[in-house]
A and B are shown apart, each in its own frame.
Chain A
Amino acid sequence: MSLIDTAQPLDGPAALGAPAPGARGPLAWLARIPRPLRLAAYLVVGVALLTMARLYTGAGQLTAQGTFQSALELALPIALAGLGGLWAERAGVVNIGLEGMMALGTWFGAYGAIAYGPWTGVLLGVLGGAVGGLLHALATVTFGVDHIISGVAINLLGVGVTEFLTSVSWNGLSAKESPTIPATITKVDLTPFLNGPLRDLSRQRRPVLSDLANLWLAVTANVSLLVVLAIALFPLSWYLLWRTPMGLRLRAVGEDPEAADSLGVKVYRMKYLAVTVSGALSGLGGVLLVYLFSGKFQSGQTGGRGFIGLAAMIFGNWRPGGLIAGAGLFGFMDSMQSQVDETSHALLIVVSLVFVGCAAWTLHRRRWISVGIFLALAAGCWWWYEQTEELPRELIPYFPHITTLLVLVFASQRLRMPAADGRVYRRSGR
């Protein structure tokens, strides 16, 4: 069962995220820019968009350091789940059980932190997730169960196990949550020498520059070591998967297991490894949820972030860079829950600007009908902003979900998933 039907016709603005490498057409020059520079440019464009909306609406919180920081901290669990999905799907196993593995991570993370201390908690949370991954591997690789079905079962099991364990731990204090975890992780300044100048720049409120300074401060100033560790896992995963023989074998298994097998790659072992790492990463995502936000385990606190992580990975075209972009977007939307109404209201202008951008893109491609549709959508969002004082509060927690859906609608055609993704592989002769 394929997550994306790649045989669809290529129409519509698929360029919401990073365009696929080797993209032809009017954006071909973009592909020639070195990748790090290109990613930085996307970031600046994104921040500039927010700045424009900030200047128009006067919602200063839109690009404040605090906003970026909570966006980062909310993006990381999503991104880690997505990275887990990346590992599994690069080896050809669809992992819809990320949510359950994340839930295991939250519980074991909290338990370890309370019983043994913060870093042991991290380790236990990661192990808890890894056990979930191991179960998924057992079902899908050894027994050949459909990947989605096994994933759904893992999700149910993960929730069941955490509920039971909560009810029998901590003297049955509460069936829904743990006590607050005692100690937290050390916080560090990554670029202390830049803090002073950047804070000055931030105060001067220069368009784009001050907003970028806020972003930089959010990522480097007073960040938890856990966040640093989590961020480091992305380049590490990229290196392992794309620059080592092990990574090549693992990806070969996801593209063509028969060919890999004939060349002597241990297909089953690779899949086991990938899915277990996948569980461990989403377990760490769960740990982050506990450590950075609530400070305790709460039943159901993953709130679909495992699924959103999977969507971020699809959005990112099964690549780490795109995954981070997707998770950043969803994390930013997620952080709107803790913001004042003014900020989330200003999002309407951001969305309106995005639609204007889409209209410009389709104008370039001479698709007149699409231009009209996007301009109408942009005008609609602007009108909505002008007519209202705030967005419906009940819907704000679900902004990431709405964004995920919209992004998948507009961006799913250019994507290419691993060729053997989701296929049950059986060695011949067994």
Chain B
Amino acid sequence: MKPRLSLQVAAPLLAILVSVVVSSAMLIATKNSPWDVFSVIASKGFSKVYLVETFNRAAPYYIAGVAVAIGFKMNLFNIGTEGQYKLGALIAAWAGAAVHLPAPVHVLFIMVVAMITGAAWAAIPAVLKATRGVSEVISSIMLNGIALGLGAFLLGQWLRMPAKSGFIVGTRPIDESGRLPTLNGLLGSLGLDITSANRVQSFVLVALVVGIVYHVVVWRTRFGYDLRATGSNAEAAEASGVNAKRMIITAMLLSGATAGLVGLNNVMGQAGRYTDISVVNGIGFTGIAIALLGRNHPVGIAFAAVLWAFMDAVQTPLSNADLPKQVTSILQGVTVLSVVIAYEVVRRIGLRQQAASLKREVPTGGAPPPPPMGSEVAPA
């Protein structure tokens, strides 16, 4: 039995409240006014410009969150999303610029290359865990660093556009056929006018597809069932015929392939090529936070990604108003820590309610009831 829905929703709300209280305390301690900060967030954050910014940022966050969540579903910690998406974006940008294809094929080609690269990089910790028993946590963290170095090396030596003065080091630009269009026109025809300077990236649609595929694969296929079963009770799953090693490798490859897509929004958008500016660092780590916040649920992750992106987006109005914009990183950090605590508390309350309801069903003195197998074993 799951805890009641109201409890499940209350947990993240409580966590956000805690983070607001803690960051207010920090603001007061450093002689800033929490009122100023939160009124700027409330008044400016919801204006059109920053909402567009929020959704543009939320799309890669969402994909990163899903990538991490695939691993989490079977207690596999793919901390290596960071390296996987950086390398994925670099190789895809290079390959995408090297070919000339009609538009839909070109777009798909770039995405597939990115996914293969991400999966290949994720294969390293997967194989090490399955064959040598190396913790994927440590190995994937080390591989993040190595990916940064390898990426810089590949870009500097082979993949870069021939140097031109005043140009940032990066790959050659991709043809127009390989770019994702903006959604401004479409939204305009729906009666929502957004100036073209304020691009609405269509990458959000890619995120949508990723979310749907994630839901179908994890909750509607045999593989997904095995994945969740392994996550809930690895021994029971193995006893019922799940091959643990193959599950580890498959889950990591899927996670890596999803991660490969994370960095493509600017590579296939405005910038059209890979540079250190067009593909920013750190989204992989953010993905971990977002998966935790969203409880690995496709809709939960979406809320988490939007929340996180919103807190990023309001940094600009905060700094325009001469307020410490980094307060949002405290908001984010405290939210994550308190949310994982809140979820655990809710889970325990749920267990207690379950025990209490069992006690009510069976009068004292009778034979102990069989545990409700269906709800116990079926993974959440």
Q: How far is the CA of A314 from the CA of B132 in the complex (A)?
A: 14
Given A139-B341, A307-B141, A412-B133, A398 and B149 contact (CB-CB distance below 8 Å): yes
A15 contacts chain B at the CB level, 8 A cutoff: no
Q: How far is the CA of A165 from the CA of B330 in the complex (A)?
A: 10
Residue of B32, B138, B344 near A145 (CB, 8 A) is B344
B345 contacts chain A at the CB level, 8 A cutoff: yes
Interchain nearest-CB distance for B380 vs A (Å): 15
What does the 1/0 interface line of A394-430 toward B look like (CB < 8 Å)? 1111100110110011001100000000000000000
Taking CB atoms, residues of chain A closer than 8 Å to B84 are none
Interchain nearest-CB distance for A55 vs B (Å): 29
Chain A residue with Cβ nearest B337: A153
Taking CB atoms, residues of chain B closer than 8 Å to A160 are 326, 329-334
Taking CB atoms, residues of chain B closer than 8 Å to A7 are 133
Taking CB atoms, residues of chain A closer than 8 Å to B148 are 398
A156 touches B143 (CB 8 A): no
Given A311-B138, A395-B150, A164 and B26 contact (CB-CB distance below 8 Å): yes
A150 contacts chain B at the CB level, 8 A cutoff: yes
Chain A residue with Cβ nearest B293: A153
B142 touches A135 (CB 8 A): no
Given A153-B289, A157-B337, A168-B324, A394 and B329 contact (CB-CB distance below 8 Å): no
Interchain nearest-CB distance for A199 vs B (Å): 37
Taking CB atoms, residues of chain B closer than 8 Å to A6 are 133
Taking CB atoms, residues of chain B closer than 8 Å to A165 are 30
Taking CB atoms, residues of chain B closer than 8 Å to A396 are 149
Q: How far is the CA of A160 from the CA of B133 in the complex (A)?
A: 33
A154 contacts chain B at the CB level, 8 A cutoff: yes
The binding surface of chain B is classed by DSSP as helix
Taking CB atoms, residues of chain A closer than 8 Å to B138 are 3, 307, 310-311, 314, 404, 408
A161 touches B330 (CB 8 A): yes
Interchain nearest-CB distance for A347 vs B (Å): 15
Could you count the A-B residue pairs with CB atoms below 8 Å apart for me: how many are there?
155
Taking CB atoms, residues of chain B closer than 8 Å to A152 are 79, 288-289, 292
A394 touches B289 (CB 8 A): no
Interchain nearest-CB distance for A151 vs B (Å): 9
A175 contacts chain B at the CB level, 8 A cutoff: yes
Taking CB atoms, residues of chain A closer than 8 Å to B145 are 304, 397-398, 401
Taking CB atoms, residues of chain A closer than 8 Å to B142 are 304, 307-308, 311, 401-402, 404-405, 408
B216 contacts chain A at the CB level, 8 A cutoff: no
User: Using a CB-CB cutoff of 8 Å, which residues 79-104 of chain A contact chain B?
Assistant: 96
B153 contacts chain A at the CB level, 8 A cutoff: yes
Interchain nearest-CB distance for B167 vs A (Å): 19
B55 contacts chain A at the CB level, 8 A cutoff: no
Residue of B129, B133, B146, B344 near A144 (CB, 8 A) is B344
A148 touches B132 (CB 8 A): no
A5 contacts chain B at the CB level, 8 A cutoff: yes
Q: Show 24 residue pairs from A and B whose CB-CB distance is below 8 angstroms, ordered by the A residue.
A: A1-B77, A8-B133, A139-B337, A139-B340, A145-B341, A150-B337, A150-B340, A153-B289, A156-B333, A157-B333, A157-B334, A172-B324, A310-B138, A314-B135, A392-B153, A394-B149, A394-B152, A395-B146, A397-B145, A402-B142, A404-B138, A408-B128, A409-B128, A412-B133
Interface pairs A-B: 4 shortest CB-CB: A157-B333, A160-B329, A160-B333, A5-B133
| Chain A interface (Cβ < 8 Å from any Cβ of B) | 1-8, 12, 96, 135, 138-139, 143-146, 148-150, 152-161, 163-169, 172, 175, 304, 307-308, 310-311, 314, 392, 394-398, 401-402, 404-405, 408-409, 412-413
